[in-house]
Amino acid sequence: MKNLTIIFFIIVGCSSTIPEETLIFKIENENATIEALQINYELVKGSGKLVAKGNYNFISSFIFESSRLNNLVVFKDFIGRKSFAIDSNDQAVKLVDLRKNIEITSDQFTSEYPQFSGIFFEHAFIKKLLWGEQIKEKDYPNLVIKQEFENEYGMQFLNEISVKNDSINQDFNLSIFSRNFE
């Protein structure tokens, strides 16, 4: 497919001035890739929702920020209080209980929050989800993964993923509501 440049103007209002930012995506294929996006952008921020069904049923909203090196995802409880965070890079994934303000291990985390057992606390998985890149099912053979994409700026961005883990009787659905590149 030919390289394609799409220019999209975003008008942001601040008091009486209206600055313009230009988003430029060079597209080599239909699916968004982190490498292609990071040519022009250092950071992606946004929000979403996690819905779980199975042994534990719950809904949690989240906000996120992902840069070239780090991911930060902050989950909120049903009344909007920050409950825990996942902070990851290539070397480590940190889990933080924000209510107690302490870092916890993945074992402590699943003991404290058993409803999240089976969710991937893996840097590459988190990064692909946040930037909107397709997740390869062959990389996770023990899971059933269903993905939905949304066409934005001429690219296909991963905006929803459902993960089914029969071994723990738990299904997760993660949806991205907004994604802003800087």
Say which DSSP state 137 is in: G
C-alpha to C-alpha distances, 21 to 4, 10, 35, 156, nearest whole angstrom = 19, 6, 21, 22
Each domain of the chain, given as residue ranges in start order, spans 42-181
Question: Residue 41 is which amino acid?
Answer: Y
3-state secondary structure of 32: coil
Q: What is the pLDDT of residue 124?
A: 87
Cα 180 from Cα 182, distance rounded (Å) = 7
Q: What is the DSSP string of 48-92?
A: EEEEEEESS-EEEEEEEEEESS-EEEEEE-TTS-EEEEEEE-SS-
> Which residues in the chain show pLDDT less than 70?
1-29, 112-120, 142
CATH C-level class of 42-181: mainly beta
Q: What is the pLDDT of residue 16?
A: 29
Q: What is the pLDDT of residue 79?
A: 79
Residues in CB range of 47: below 8 A, 6 or more apart: 61, 62, 63, 64, 176, 177, 178
Tell me: the pLDDT tens digits for 48-74? 999 988 887 888 899 999 999 999 999
130 token code pair: 């946040």
Residues in CB range of 48: below 8 A, 6 or more apart: 61, 62, 64, 174, 175, 176, 177, 178
Q: What is the pLDDT of residue 148?
A: 85
Cα 62 from Cα 73, distance rounded (Å) = 7
Q: What is the pLDDT of residue 13?
A: 30
Task: Please state the φ and ψ torsions of residue 110, each to the nearest 5 degrees.
Answer: -70, -25
156 token code pair: 């296909």
- Under a CB-based contact definition with an 8 Å cutoff, are residues 90 and 135 in contact? no
